[in-house]
Amino acid sequence: MFSSYETTKQTVTIILDGKPQRVPAGVSVAAAVLGTGKTHTRTSLISGEPRAPFCMMGVCYECLLEIDSRKDQQSCQVQVKEGMIINRQIRTNGEEK
Protein backbone atom coordinates (compact mmCIF):
# COMPACT_ATOMS: atom_id res chain seq x y z
CA MET A 1 0.00 0.00 0.00
CA PHE A 2 2.87 2.41 0.68
CA SER A 3 4.90 1.97 -2.50
CA SER A 4 7.23 4.81 -3.38
CA TYR A 5 6.50 6.86 -6.50
CA GLU A 6 10.15 6.45 -7.52
CA THR A 7 10.11 2.63 -7.37
CA THR A 8 6.66 2.08 -8.91
CA LYS A 9 6.95 1.53 -12.67
CA GLN A 10 3.35 0.75 -13.60
CA THR A 11 0.68 3.42 -13.68
CA VAL A 12 -3.10 3.55 -13.85
CA THR A 13 -5.41 6.32 -14.99
CA ILE A 14 -7.88 7.74 -12.52
CA ILE A 15 -10.41 10.51 -13.05
CA LEU A 16 -9.81 13.08 -10.31
CA ASP A 17 -12.30 15.95 -10.09
CA GLY A 18 -13.26 15.24 -13.70
CA LYS A 19 -9.73 15.20 -15.12
CA PRO A 20 -7.69 12.12 -16.09
CA GLN A 21 -4.50 11.64 -14.08
CA ARG A 22 -1.78 9.00 -14.43
CA VAL A 23 -0.78 7.74 -10.99
CA PRO A 24 1.43 4.90 -9.78
CA ALA A 25 -0.30 1.52 -9.58
CA GLY A 26 -0.56 -0.05 -6.16
CA VAL A 27 -0.65 3.12 -4.06
CA SER A 28 -3.56 4.25 -1.91
CA VAL A 29 -6.06 6.71 -3.35
CA ALA A 30 -4.95 9.24 -0.71
CA ALA A 31 -1.31 8.94 -1.78
CA ALA A 32 -2.27 9.17 -5.44
CA VAL A 33 -4.31 12.33 -4.89
CA LEU A 34 -1.54 13.98 -2.86
CA GLY A 35 0.95 12.92 -5.54
CA THR A 36 -0.98 14.91 -8.14
CA GLY A 37 -0.24 18.07 -6.15
CA LYS A 38 -3.64 18.49 -4.50
CA THR A 39 -3.16 19.88 -1.03
CA HIS A 40 -6.44 18.66 0.46
CA THR A 41 -9.05 15.98 -0.08
CA ARG A 42 -12.09 17.61 1.49
CA THR A 43 -13.31 20.57 3.47
CA SER A 44 -14.72 20.48 6.98
CA LEU A 45 -18.52 20.38 7.11
CA ILE A 46 -18.50 22.78 10.06
CA SER A 47 -15.75 25.31 9.42
CA GLY A 48 -15.17 24.85 5.69
CA GLU A 49 -11.44 24.54 6.35
CA PRO A 50 -9.42 22.35 3.99
CA ARG A 51 -8.56 18.90 5.35
CA ALA A 52 -5.92 16.45 4.14
CA PRO A 53 -4.82 12.88 4.91
CA PHE A 54 -2.87 12.78 8.15
CA CYS A 55 -2.34 9.29 9.55
CA MET A 56 -2.47 7.23 6.32
CA MET A 57 -3.55 4.20 8.37
CA GLY A 58 -7.32 4.50 8.79
CA VAL A 59 -7.48 6.30 12.13
CA CYS A 60 -8.02 10.04 11.60
CA TYR A 61 -10.74 10.09 8.89
CA GLU A 62 -9.21 13.24 7.38
CA CYS A 63 -8.84 11.57 3.96
CA LEU A 64 -12.52 11.13 3.09
CA LEU A 65 -13.23 11.23 -0.64
CA GLU A 66 -15.97 10.22 -3.04
CA ILE A 67 -14.72 7.09 -4.81
CA ASP A 68 -16.77 5.59 -7.64
CA SER A 69 -19.90 7.46 -6.49
CA ARG A 70 -19.55 6.37 -2.85
CA LYS A 71 -19.07 9.34 -0.56
CA ASP A 72 -16.98 9.47 2.62
CA GLN A 73 -14.56 6.67 1.70
CA GLN A 74 -11.33 6.44 3.69
CA SER A 75 -9.01 7.00 0.74
CA CYS A 76 -5.91 5.89 2.64
CA GLN A 77 -7.43 2.41 2.89
CA VAL A 78 -8.36 2.01 -0.78
CA GLN A 79 -5.90 1.05 -3.51
CA VAL A 80 -6.11 2.91 -6.83
CA LYS A 81 -7.56 1.01 -9.77
CA GLU A 82 -7.69 1.74 -13.48
CA GLY A 83 -10.63 4.02 -14.34
CA MET A 84 -11.50 4.85 -10.74
CA ILE A 85 -13.55 8.04 -10.48
CA ILE A 86 -12.53 10.16 -7.52
CA ASN A 87 -13.99 13.46 -6.40
CA ARG A 88 -12.70 15.59 -3.58
CA GLN A 89 -15.45 16.55 -1.14
CA ILE A 90 -15.23 20.31 -1.31
CA ARG A 91 -18.18 22.03 0.31
CA THR A 92 -19.02 25.69 0.73
CA ASN A 93 -21.81 26.79 3.07
CA GLY A 94 -22.84 23.17 3.57
CA GLU A 95 -23.18 22.55 -0.18
CA GLU A 96 -20.82 20.47 -2.27
CA LYS A 97 -19.29 22.16 -5.26
Q: Which residues bind ligand FES (CB under 6 A)?
A: 30, 53-56, 58-63, 74, 76
- Residue closer to ligand FES by CB (options 12, 78) is 78
Count, residues in the chain: 97
Q: Is the dihedral of CA 81, 51, 59, 67 positive or negative?
A: negative
Neighbours of 22 (CB within 10 A): 11
Which residues have C-beta within 8 Å of that of residue 97, sequence separation ≥ 6?
A: 90, 91
Work out how close the CB of 85 gets to ligand FES at its nearest, in angstroms, rounded to a whole number.
19
Work out how close the CB of 9 gets to ligand FES at its nearest, in angstroms, rounded to a whole number.
25
- Residue closer to ligand FES by CB (options 30, 80) is 30
| Pairing label, strands 85-87, 91-92 | unpaired
- Residue closer to ligand FES by CB (options 11, 77) is 77
64 near 86, Cβ under 8 Å? no
Find the residue with minimal CB distance to ligand FES. Answer: 76
Work out how close the CB of 65 gets to ligand FES at its nearest, in angstroms, rounded to a whole number.
9
